[in-house]
Amino acid sequence: MESSTANQLTTPANQNFFLSPQFPMQRQYEALRAYLVEEEPSADVARRFGYSPGAFRVLCHQFRHDPQKRASFFRQPQRGPQSSPVRDRVRDLAIAMRKRNLSVYDMQRELAAAGHTISINSLTVLLREEGFSRLPRRADDQRPVTVKPEVAAVADVRRLDLSPGSFRTPLAGLFLFLPLLDRIDLQAVVTAARLPSSKMIPAAQAVRSLLALKLIGAERKSHVMDLVTDRAIALFAGINVVPKRSYLAAYSSRIDHKVCLRFMEAWLDQVEQAGLPHGASFDLDFHSVPANSAQEPLEKHYVSSRSRSQKGILVFLARDAEQRILRYANAGVTKGEQADEILQFIRFWKQHTGQPPAELVFDSQLTTYEKLSELHRQGICFITLRRRSDKMLREIYSQPDSAWQRISLPALTRIYRNPKVLENRVTLPGYEGELRQLTVMELGHEEPTVLLTNHRKLGPVELVTRYAQRMLIENGISEAVQFFHIDALSSMVGMKVDFDMQLTLVASSLYRMMAQRIGREYSHSQAKTVFRNLLDLSGKVEVSPTSVVVTLDKRAHNPYLVASGLADQATPMPWFGGKKLIMQFA
């Protein structure tokens, strides 16, 4: 038995570690040992260990006369302090606390109250040194008595309290959206979309709860936990209390892409009937939403807000150029589907309105030349950018001054109002026929802007002005990011991006209707401006047997709300026992 064990130890690999050293210090040690202890000839040792005769003589001289050389072969490891004053000072107290089944966080609080400051990590090391294992999960009655958050009631529409009462809320401005929603049959929208529903939380109540978070600019869905005791959102939604974050995550997970498309189409039908007609020209763009979820089609995309490429979800957006609101949103577009998404939007718009959009404006990376040819065959006008190559730039800069045309843009606020334009016809690979190419210089950019279009009637002034208006979609995306927080996905609430985009589309439509009702001063304001100046209002809510009276507190901008007429008539609330909403100002 002993001989077999010895044979296992004396394998060639183990022997080679000593006979053929690989590390410099080990090689020097073995060479000196062979020469000084085993008394092998100097020349043989130098040849065996790869030294020249002169270099080996120098090594032997250093070993004989330099004590540090000998000490360098076997350095003693540096050891840290064997005791910790911070841990030793509270060791006995910590042991006694652990015997009371206190966690490290409970222990830290009690020690801090006794005047001892120690980190969680130090307490963990102390308990490990004393042989304590990890504390098992405790029941609520086993935990020490401390201040705990109030447990809110379970959301259940069957427990909705319609009895008279009153309360104050910082979200009284939210009720100003109800006169607008009264013109929209939300129940018909959720029924047509076939959204998930339950006896405890019907689909309409679930959508109103999520919509309320969008309308008040809540950054993350998990922040609903800060509002679970606010009765204003519950009353707005028509439920006893606000649903918790766990419900929001579970509800979103039950909604697939087909449901989102049905929801979007049904909402567009209702909002157009409510007085927000659609236009014929659209600005198109992609936006990368950073995300970290195993349930989403994640790919690496460039995220402009973070100036880097990372895992995310590509969202296609179409913005009505006339009404300046989002009309279409589709999340989860893969890189392979990116070029076809413009045709998907056209198919959706044809199904929704019966005819394709009249005009599309987008940048050079949205689709390919083959898809541009398909747009032309369908009779759709488009304006897009052309990517500049070095050869193209050399040709542009070589054009004589006589080839350029000076134009005057109508926008009085522009600094660069008189650019020069070079127009010609070009053919592109994959595109059937010719395209108009407009090269614009002195527009405020270092390099020329090259536009491609199949418009036949519009002149250079109209084309340049229209493409400049496309930049407004960047403002729309910025509004969706900054106020509606489409980028702020919470790991605590796995809200699906596709459904979150549909809620953003709904909220942006309501804010546009709100801005139009308020008047000319806010007709083109972004949602965050309207909310900050007008709707971020506190107030008192009084529930009577027949009505809900919301009295808005005084603010400097309240005259705009009075003039809007939103509070002129009572609004029926079928989801709240048929009571009528009465808005008034303090």
pLDDT averaged per 10 residues, the chain (length 586): 51 73 84 88 89 89 81 67 80 91 91 92 91 84 76 86 92 94 93 93 92 83 73 91 82 88 94 89 86 63 62 86 87 85 94 92 89 93 90 90 88 74 91 92 86 91 86 71 67 68 91 90 86 93 94 93 92 92 93
Query: Position 302: which residue type?
Result: Y
Calculate the CA 461 to chain-centre distance.
Answer: 38
Q: What's the pLDDT tens digit per position in 104-143? A: 999 999 999 999 999 999 999 999 988 888 888 888 777 8
> Is 363 in contact with 384 (CB distance < 8 Å)?
yes
Choose one of 118, 142, 166: the last residue of a domain. Answer: 142
Same domain, 52 and 137: no
Paired with 541 in beta bridges are: 167, 550
Residue 135 lies in a domain: yes
129 and 31 share a domain? no
Task: Identify whether residues 377 and 463 lie together within a single domain.
Answer: yes
Specify the 3-state DSSP secondary structure of 290. Answer: strand
Does 453 lie in the same domain as 371? yes
CATH number of the domain to which 43 belongs: 1.10.10
Q: Name the residue with tokens 């919301």.
A: 550
**Residue finishing a domain among 419, 434, 469:** 469
Flag whether 579 is in a domain. no
DSSP helix/strand/coil, 493: strand
What is the helix (H) or strand (E) element at residue 423, kind and residue range?
strand 420-426
What is the pLDDT at residue 539? 95
Residue 560 lies in a domain: no
* Dihedral over Cα of 94, 100, 103, 109: its sign: negative
Name the residue range of residue 137's domain. Answer: 85-142
Instruction: Give the three-class secondary structure for 208.
Output: helix
Select from 410, 443, 469 the last residue of a domain: 469
Same domain, 61 and 91: no
Whether 508 is in a domain gets the answer no
What does the pLDDT read at residue 383?
Answer: 93
> How far apart, in whole angstroms, are the C-alpha atoms of residue 451 and residue 469?
14
Give bridge partners of residue 439 from the DSSP assignment: 422, 450
| Domain-located, residue 324 | no
Q: At 141, list the tokens.
A: 């009655």
Identify the pLDDT of residue 445.
Answer: 80
Question: Do 28 and 112 have their domain in common?
Answer: no
Look at residue 275 in the predicted model and tell me its pLDDT: 85
Q: Tell me how many domains the chain contains.
A: 3
- Strand-strand pairing, 547-552 and 579-585: parallel
Q: Which amino acid is at 459?
A: G
Q: Are residues 138 and 41 in the same domain?
A: no
* One domain for residues 100 and 42: no
User: How many CB atoms sit inside 10 A of residue 162's CB?
Assistant: 12
Cβ-contact 42, 56 below 8 angstroms: yes
Residue 123 lies in a domain: yes
Q: What's the pLDDT score for residue 295? A: 57
Asked, for residue 282, whether it belongs to a domain, the answer is: no
Bridge partners (DSSP) listed for residue 300: 311
Count of helix runs (H) and strand runs (E) in the chain: 23, 15
Based on the domain organization, do 461 and 402 belong to the same domain? yes
Please indicate, yes or no, if residue 406 is contained in any of the structural domains. yes
Question: Over the range 96-119, which residues count as b (16 or more CB within 10 Å of their CB) and which as e?
Answer: ebbeeebbbebbbeebeeeeeebe
